[in-house]
Amino acid sequence: MLQFFVDVILRTVDLALIAVALSCVYSLIRFPNIALVQYATAGALIALGLQTLGLPLYLAIVLSCVITGLMAVVLSVLIFEKLLDTSPPLAMVGSLAVSMIFTAVFLVTVGPRPKRFDLEIMAPVRWAGVSITPMQLVSVGLTMGAILLFALLLFRTGLGRSMRATSTNRVLAEATGIPTRKVINGVIVLSGILAALGGISISLKGEMGAQLGFDLLLPIFAAAILGGLGNALGAALGAFTIALAETFVTNVNFGWVVSQDFYFLPASFATIVSFGLLVLILLFRPHGLLVSEVKRV
């Protein structure tokens, strides 16, 4: 049982930060940016590159987050906002195209082989039948810390208030003197940082490859929509729900159904669950589990 809980948390950590970033951007500029999943891969690979250049890991991570954040805002200003002026669906297709270019760039620069950070190999900690590696703990801590900081920023600071105001009604916010342009760019930098951190936290406890982000596209969208697109913290809850469903399908012994001692569904069924949940949510609760001000998905 404890192992089940640990697995759910670890999977939530995989999805949460990127889903939060996706939802957060959506709340301001009303289009789901598919390229965000690639910012996660980029963040991890840049951090690895910096570490290979001889930087200590924590510095490499910080620097990589900054670089990815800046890249996010540059792409947004140069490409996505122009497309968005035409129509949001066009911007979404544009972001798909951009993310395909990203994959190609990763394949050419880093190659198709999976990579790992240069970390010392540490034996797992075993406790009450559960084994956890120190890096998994670091990854969980990093993610929770980032989400907590983000929540504080959103609800306890002036910037957060401006962000929420801009997302609720941009015209009105502008009329009351909020520099909406700056707020939007700030949020996009923040989304890049969150996504990069998401990718890095996945790579810390496992490995990274050119497909890291793209493989997560479906569960992340499912998580963000489940939490109500535009509701940033709802996305974290959405990630937890998806993780719970995925882990349930693959970790529960269905032996009693087929009257065998053990029967597990193949692990690839986890993807089917995110797909299934996504369809169900879109059918029955298109605004997500938590009601938000967003009226369209």
- Considering only 53, 56, 78, 261, the residue that binds other proteins (CB under 8 A) is 261
Examine residue 81 and tell whether it contacts other proteins (CB under 8 A): no
Examine residue 211 and tell whether it contacts other proteins (CB under 8 A): yes
Examine residue 295 and tell whether it contacts other proteins (CB under 8 A): no
Stretch touching other proteins by CB under 8 A, among 18-26, 87-95, 106-114, 231-239: 106-114
CB of 119 to other proteins, least distance (A): 11
- Considering only 89, 111, 145, 179, the residue that binds other proteins (CB under 8 A) is 111
Count of residues interacting with other proteins (CB under 8 A): 29
Type and span of the H or E element at 132: strand 130-132
Nearer to other proteins, 23 or 99 (CB): 99
Nearer to other proteins, 26 or 39 (CB): 39
Examine residue 124 and tell whether it contacts other proteins (CB under 8 A): yes
Beta bridge partners of 125: 132
In angstroms, rounded to a whole number, what is the distance separating the alpha carbons of residues 283 and 221?
Answer: 15
Q: How many residues can be counted in the chain? A: 297
Stretch touching other proteins by CB under 8 A, among 79-87, 171-179, 246-254, 272-280: 246-254
CB of 107 to other proteins, least distance (A): 9
Instruction: List all residues 6 or more positions away from 45 whose beta carbon is below 8 Å from its beta carbon.
Output: 106, 109, 110, 115, 208
Q: For residues 20 and 192, is the Cβ–Cβ distance under 8 A? A: no
- Considering only 78, 259, 266, 284, the residue that binds other proteins (CB under 8 A) is 266
Distances (CA, A) of 51 to 117, 197, 198: 8, 15, 17
Examine residue 103 and tell whether it contacts other proteins (CB under 8 A): no
Distances (CA, A) of 192 to 148, 196, 289: 17, 6, 25
Site for other proteins in 133-172 (CB under 8 A): 133, 136
Q: Which of 223, 206, 32, 50 is nearest to 133 (CA)?
A: 206
Beta bridge partners of 115: 208
CB of 161 to other proteins, least distance (A): 39
Q: For residues 226 and 99, is the Cβ–Cβ distance under 8 A? A: no
CB of 251 to other proteins, least distance (A): 6
Nearer to other proteins, 169 or 253 (CB): 253
Backbone phi and psi for residue 123, each to the nearest 5 degrees, phi listed first: -65, 145
Type and span of the H or E element at 171: helix 170-175
Q: For residues 35 and 95, is the Cβ–Cβ distance under 8 A? A: yes
- Residues at the interface with other proteins (CB under 8 A): 3, 7, 111-114, 121, 124, 126, 131, 133, 136, 206-209, 211-212, 215, 250-251, 253, 261-262, 264, 266-268, 270
